[in-house]
Structures are given as C-alpha cells and as structure tokens.
Amino acid sequence: MMTSVFLDYNTIGPEELDSAPLKKCLPGLKLFDSTSPEEVPNRVKNAEFILTNKVKLFEGNLKTAEKLKFIGLTATGADNIDLDYAKSRNIRVCNIQAYCTQSVVEHVFGSILNLTHNIYEYQNLVQNGAWQKSDDFCMLQYPIRELSSMTIGIIGYGELGRNVAKMARTFNMQVLVNTRSKNKRNKYEKHVSLQNLLKNSDVVSLHCPLTDETKHLISNQELGLMKPNSILINTARGALIESKALFDALIKNKISGAAIDVLPEEPPTEGNVLLDYKGRNLFLTPHIAWGTIKARQNAINQLANAILAFKNNESFNVLV
C-alpha cells in the first residue's frame, strides 16, 4: 500500500468535514493534526503523497522522501513549497482554486455592512442600557451609510476581486479597479491608478498577491490619500498593509474604519500593534474569511480530484 500523509489536518477544521474523498483515493492516509519543522523529515521519508496546507516543504526536509511523487495543497498559494526543487525531482505539485470565493465575498460585505451601519456601536448602546432609557423608538447617534451611495475600490482582480466587484454591483455600488492584469475587464468597472482608487473610494478591499512589489502596498502615504470616512478591508495577505501605519491612521481618524482578517505573522505569536488597538472601528479576525464549512469541504474535494487526476495521468490544478 502506498504511504500518504496529511501533515496539518487541523488547519482546515476537520471536525465538520467529510474526509472520505481523500481516504478513498489514498487508502491508509495518515492524518496528523499538526507537524513541527523538526518532525517533517521523519514523517515524509516513506511518503509517496504529501498533503498539507501551511507546512513548509523544501529540499532540506524533503531529501529523505525518496519515494515522493505528489504534493497536494489545501490552499491556492504555494509559497511554502520549493517548486524548483519539486520540479527537479519530477514531483507533481497541485493546489486548489476558487474553492472559497463565496466565503470570502460574504466576509468582505459582512465587514463592510458592520462598519457602514455601525452595528457594533448600536449593539453597545443596547448592552449599556441606552435604548431602554431613550425618549424615542429608535436611536440614530451614529451615521448609517447606504452602500448604493458608495464607491468600492478593488486592488487585485483575480477570482476574488472579480467576485467582490460582482457582489458590489448588486448593492448598486460604483466599482473602481486597480490591477496589473489587462484581462477580464468589463463595462461595469473603471480601471484606474492606485492613487486614483485610494482618493476616490469609500471602501478599499485588497485582493492581490503578496510579492516584493506589493509588500506594504498600503502604508502611511497611501492611507493619507484615502477619504477620512473610508474603510479598508484586507482578506488577502497581512503584509500588504504596514500595521503601524494603519494603527496610526485609525488613531488619528485618517480613515473611519478597517476590517483586517490577516496579519504579517500568523498566528501573531510575537504580537502586532493592531492587537493593541482598542477602538470599535477595527474588526480584527483570525484569518477566517475563507473558512465556511462549504469552502473547506470544497478544498478536500478539489484535492481528491487532483490526486485522482494524477493517478490517471491527467492534469488538474497543476503547479509543477
């Protein structure tokens, strides 16, 4: 029987999911809740198939895996895999694609609605007894902004960016797009420079990859261009935003709010300045935008399809 391992199964919240698709195509699959860097070489040394989400795999810890044929990722990004080394050894590497689109889109607009309708502030009023003492049937102490009067700026126009734009149109929002890609543009979106987008958007949502060029894409200068009543959303990669710059912008009311689902280091064991922010106009969540039950099951199902395709000498979501 072939040897196969899933090195960090807990990262996809397995209690709610059906692992049968993976076990059907990989009988005897060994599931590890997590795997430390020190444990990798021993756990992969006899493996033909390695499945992982975030464990780093490179020449140093893969050279013991002499039988290795396949690396499967329950993620779209492959920055934790040494693709050059995999290619040199003829190891197939597959990812998953468009598996969590709806989950991320819903998170983005849930965040936008919470901030534009001041849900947290109004809930706080009720919890503190203010409504119970009010002279009027309703309370309108905080502004409630309608999305149809707003412009959303989307940075990055891949699968997620396009679908955020699609949802924005259902709210009758104006859409501005900044992207390096010239493909898949349509009449509903106006493609503009980053500076133009930041100056003219009521909501800025990040959906671009993290590269050397995009690291700290949003810092002091960029935040200074944004409207004082604008909102910043990041469900992409934490290092796209310089955390201290965002902290300062919120403290100084340069922007009205932010919803941040990702940080440069995850988990933030060394801390992060945004963790110390006490204002109620920052929603900081632990990288959950992708994580609906359906999206995570999609991840398992897609990975199983990639394994079956490999066994049948076919291609499916192939990176290498």
Q: What is the pLDDT of residues 190-227, one digit of tens each?
A: 899 999 999 999 999 999 999 999 999 999 999 999 99
Residue with tokens 């006899």: 46
Confidence of residue 181 (pLDDT cuts 50, 70, 90): confident
Predicted confidence (pLDDT) per residue in 223-244, tens digit: 999 999 999 999 999 999 999 9
Rounded to an integer, what distance in angstroms lies between the CA atom of residue 260 and that of residue 235? 7
Does 65 map to a domain? yes
Rounded to an integer, what distance in angstroms lies between the CA atom of residue 174 and that of residue 315? 39
Does 319 map to a domain? no
Q: For residues 209 and 248, state if they share a domain.
A: yes
Distance of CA 37 to the CA centre of its chain: 24
Range of the domain at 28: 4-99+293-311
Q: For residues 135 and 275, state if they share a domain.
A: yes
Looking at residue 187, what is its pLDDT? Answer: 65
Q: For residues 165 and 245, state if they share a domain.
A: yes
Of 295, 301, 271, the closest CA to residue 107 belongs to 295
Q: For residues 53 and 194, state if they share a domain.
A: no
Q: For residues 61 and 193, state if they share a domain.
A: no
∠ CA(212), CA(218), CA(220), 5° rounding?
120
Looking at residue 182, what is its pLDDT? Answer: 64
Q: Is the pLDDT of residue 185 over 90?
A: no
Looking at residue 17, what is its pLDDT? Answer: 95
Q: Is the pLDDT of residue 183 over 80?
A: no
Looking at residue 14, what is its pLDDT? Answer: 87
CA separation, residue 7 to residues 22, 40, 91 (Å): 14, 8, 17
Does 317 map to a domain? no
Q: Which two tokens stand for residue 185?
A: 């543009």
Q: For residues 158 and 209, state if they share a domain.
A: yes
Tell whether pTM > 0.85: yes
Does 316 map to a domain? no
**% of the chain surpassing 90 pLDDT:** 94
Confidence of residue 186 (pLDDT cuts 50, 70, 90): low
Looking at residue 107, what is its pLDDT? Answer: 98
Q: For residues 105 and 227, state if they share a domain.
A: yes
Q: Which two tokens stand for residue 15?
A: 């209690």
Residue with tokens 């965002």: 246
For the annotated catalytic residues, the residue numbers are 237, 266, 287
Does 318 map to a domain? no
Predicted confidence (pLDDT) per residue in 96-138, tens digit: 999 999 999 999 999 999 999 999 999 999 999 999 999 999 9
Does residue 171 sit in helix, strand or coil? coil
| Beta-strand relationship, 231-234 and 174-178 | unpaired
Q: For residues 199 and 263, state if they share a domain.
A: yes
Domain count, the chain: 2
The mean predicted confidence, pLDDT, of the chain is 95
Q: For residues 110 and 211, state if they share a domain.
A: yes
Q: Is the pLDDT of residue 282 over 90?
A: yes
Q: For residues 110 and 203, state if they share a domain.
A: yes
